[in-house]
Amino acid sequence: MTSDELRTMKRVEIFTDGACKGNPGRGGWGAILRYKGNEKKLSGAETSTTNNRMELTAVIQALSQLKEPCIVALTTDSQYVKKGLPNGCHNGKNVIGELPIKSR
């Protein structure tokens, strides 16, 4: 991707979380996508799942909403999600930098 292409891409903020009572057990996930002040909220639940699965599901469902390539600023508290990304993609806290993401 060229620097000109990156400059023209939309920047979307995504906030995700997943949780589980018991492991496995009942779980849920949530995500918020924010673009130019507009927000879209997503959520879901499973009767028998794991915490890591819910954390990943939140990210996957949020990214699946993108209709075109975007710069994504992903915020998560999940070490599992952060460790699954390439080195250099996160700042050691909860924000996982801005990543160019291609839509489907």
pLDDT, one tens digit per residue, over 45-59 is: 999 999 999 999 999
pLDDT digits (tens, 9 = 90+) for 4-16: 877 888 899 999 9
In this prediction, residue 4 carries a pLDDT of: 82
Classified as helix, coil or strand, 39 is strand
Q: Parallel, antiparallel, or unpaired for β 25-35 and 38-49?
A: antiparallel
Asked whether residue 3 carries a pLDDT value surpassing 70, the answer given is yes
In this prediction, residue 62 carries a pLDDT of: 94
Residue 21 burial (CB count, 10 A): 10
* Torsion sign over Cα 87, 91, 92, 93: negative
81 pLDDT band (50/70/90 cuts)?
A: confident
Residue 68 burial (CB count, 10 A): 10
